[in-house]
Structure 1
C-alpha cells in the first residue's frame, strides 16, 4: 500500500489559508474606510443643509437664491433629522409622520441622533437660531452592520478551514495506521506458513503430542492476529452472532492466559442476543479493553464484564479497579498515539474505536472513571 505525505501540500495549504485571511481582512478594512467616508459625506450634506437653512431665513421668497435653498431642502430624502428652533419649536424631515407629533418620541429621537452624530448649530450673524439633529440614513445603517456580517463570514470561513485541516490530518493518520496494520499482517504471513509446515513435520516425528498441540494453538492465535490486522482499512463482513457467547469466549480466553492475581467475573441480563458482528474484530475489541484494564491495575485487581440489554441496544461494559482516567482525557484516549505506557504506541483504543464505530456502527465511551477504577462501555444495536 503506497501512501504519500507530501510536506509541500501542507505549505501550499498554509499559504492559501494566509492569503484567504489577507483578502478577507483587506475587504473588511476597505468596507470600514468606505463607511467612515460615507458618514463624513452625510455630515457635509447636513452642514450644507444647515447653511441653506440659515441663508433661506435671510433671503427673500421671490429671489432665485431662495429657490436654490428650497431645492437643497427637497433633495434630502434619506437622512432623518430634527430642527429645533431657539424657541423650542421643531420640525422634522424623513421621519414617521404619525409619530412626530409625540414630543416624547421626538425627544428620544433627538438623544439617539445625538449619540450617532454631533449636532450642528445654525447661527446667523453670531445669533443662535436653531440646532440640527440628524441620524444615520437607512443606507448607512445597513452598511454599519456589513463589517459584522463580514467578520462572521470570516469566522465561519476560518472554522471550515480548521475542520478541513483537522479532518485531513485524521485521515492521514488513519491511512498510516491502516497501512501499518496491513503490512504487519503481510509480514506475519510468511513465517506463519513456514511454522505450519514445520509443525506438520514435527507431528510425523516421535515426539510428545502435547508439544505439537500447543504449537498448533499458538499458530491458530497468530492466524487470528493476522486476520485482524488484514481487515483494518477495509470494510469487514458482519454476520449475526450471539454477542453473549462471543463476549464469553473472549473472556474465557483472556482469563486462562492472565495472571492469577487478576480476579475475573462475568454477568449478563440476557441468555442469548443476536448482533451483527465480525467475530474476529469484536473479540479483538474485548481483548484490548480487558488488557488496558489489566495494565491500569498494574497486573493486580478485578476485571468485570457485564452485558445489559436495553430495548434495541446492548451495552457491553468492561470494568477494572485501576488508577482511573482524568475526565479531561475521556475523549483524547481514543486518539492515535495517545498512551500512558512508556513503550506503548497508543493504537489499542484507537483501533477499538474504529472497529466499534466505523465497522459496527456502534458507540464506545468511558462510562465512568475515578480512583477506584474505570468502566468502558461498548453499545451495539441488537437484531431482536
Structure 2
C-alpha cells in the first residue's frame, strides 16, 4: 500500500525541476564565459594590430587617430609586450615593475596558461610577442560556475535534510497516533475489568485476589494514561524529582529479579522541577529496564542524583556490555534497536518526554565494558 503518493511525486518533481534549472544556469554561464573569452581574444588581436602599426611607424605622428584610440582604450586586460630586441612593455599591471625580470617571467608563464600569445609580425618580420591574461571581469566570471556548483551542493544538502526531517516528523506522528489508539483500545476492556472486579468483591472472593487485580488494573490505567499523553503537550506540575525518582526506582526494584542489585544514591534532599509524574516514571522505568536487558538480567543498576548550579542531574548506571561511541546519538532514533525483538521506540520516547515535554536534556554520559551511564538534566525551580 502506498502512503501519500501525490505528496511524494510533487516532492520529487520539485527536486528534479530545481536541479534542472540550476544546471541550465550553470551551462548558460559556462557558454557565456567562453563567448566572453573569445570576444576578449578578438579585442587583443585588434590591439596587437594597432601596436604593429606603432612599431613599424618611423614617427608617432604618422600613426592614425583610430590606432591611438585602440591602444589607449584598453585599460582592463593585463598584458606584457616583449619586443624583438628583448625590451618589455607592461600595460594594466600596476603592481609589476618592468625591472623585476623574475616576476615578469612568472607572469608570462601564467598568461600563456590562460591564453595563447599573439605574434606581431609585419612582412615576415617578427616585431613583438603579446602575452595577455584574463581581465578582472573574466576572472570573476571564471569562478562563477564553481560558486554555482557549491550552491547546487548546498541546495541538495538542504533538500536532503528537509526530506529526512519530514520523514522523521511523519514517523513521530505515526508513533504518536499508534500510542493514542492503543490507549483508546485499552480503555474499553479496562472499564469492564473494573466492573468485574467489583462483582468479585460482592461474591465473597478472597480479598487478596481482588486486591492484586486492583493493582494490575491500576497499572493498566497508568499505562493508558502514558500512551494517551504521547503526541500532545502533557500537564506539568511542580514535583520533588528526588522523591519521584526514588518511587519509580523502588517500584521496579520490587518487581525485578533478585540477581539484579539496585542502588540509590543522593546527597540532594529535595529539588522541585516541573514534571509530569506519569511520563517521568515511564522514563526512569525505560532506562532501568534497558540497563537490565544490557546486563542480561544479572548485575547492578544504580541511580545517582547530583545538583548543579541551576539543574538537577539524574545518572542511571548499569554494568552491561556498553554502547559503541558511534551509536551514542543513533540509539535515540525511532526504530533503532539492538534487540532481536525490539521495536526501537523506548529511548526515542524517552528523548521526546525529556527534551520536548520537559525541556530537559538526555545523553549517554559514558559507556564501555564496565557499563553505561545515562544522564538526565532538568532545570530546577529554585
TM-score in terms of structure 2 length: 0.94
1:69 Cα deviation from its structure 2 partner? 2.2
2:214 is equivalent to residue 220 of structure 1:
no
Instruction: Give the corresponding residue for 1:244.
Output: 242
Structure 1 match to 2:327 = 329
1:70–1:308 CA distance, 2 compared to 1 (3 A): same
Structure 1 unaligned spans of 5+: none
Match status 1:176 vs 2:174: yes
Q: Residue 46 of structure 1 corresponds to which residue in structure 2?
A: 44
| Aligned equivalent of 1:11 | 9
SS in 2 for 1:145: helix
Secondary structure of the structure 2 residue equivalent to 1:47: helix
Write the deviation string for residues 180-203 of structure 1: whole angstroms up to 9, x where unpaired: 000000001001111111111111
Q: Distance in 2 between matches of 1:57 and 1:134?
A: 18
Aligned position for 2:100: 103
Matched pairs, number:
380
- 1:1-384 → structure 2 map (5 Å cutoff): 5-58=3-56, 66-96=64-94, 100=97, 103=100, 106-384=104-382
**Counterparts of 1:77 and 1:344 in 2: how far apart (Å)?**
74
Asked whether the 8 Å contact 1:60–1:66 carries over to 2, the reply is no
Contact 1:297 1:322 in 2 (8 A): yes
Any conservation in 2 of the 1:61–1:67 contact (CA below 8 Å)?
Answer: no
Answer whether contact 1:59 1:66 (CA < 8 A) is retained: no
| Contact persistence 2:55–2:127 (CA under 8 A) | no
Q: Secondary structure at the match of 1:376?
A: strand
The Cα of 1:364 is off from its aligned counterpart by 0.8
Q: Distance in 2 between matches of 1:270 and 1:381?
A: 15
CA RMSD of aligned residues (A): 2.0
Which runs of 5 or more residues in structure 2 are unaligned? none
Q: Give the TM-score taking structure 1 as reference length.
A: 0.93
Q: Aligned equivalents of 1:332 and 1:282: distance in 2?
A: 22
Hey, what's the Cα distance between the residues in 2 that align with 1:206 and 1:71? 120
What do the CA deviations read for 1:144-174 (whole angstroms, capped 9, x no partner)? 1211221222122112111110111011001
Aligned-pair CA distance for 1:57: 3.3
Which is further off, 140-149 or 212-221?
140-149
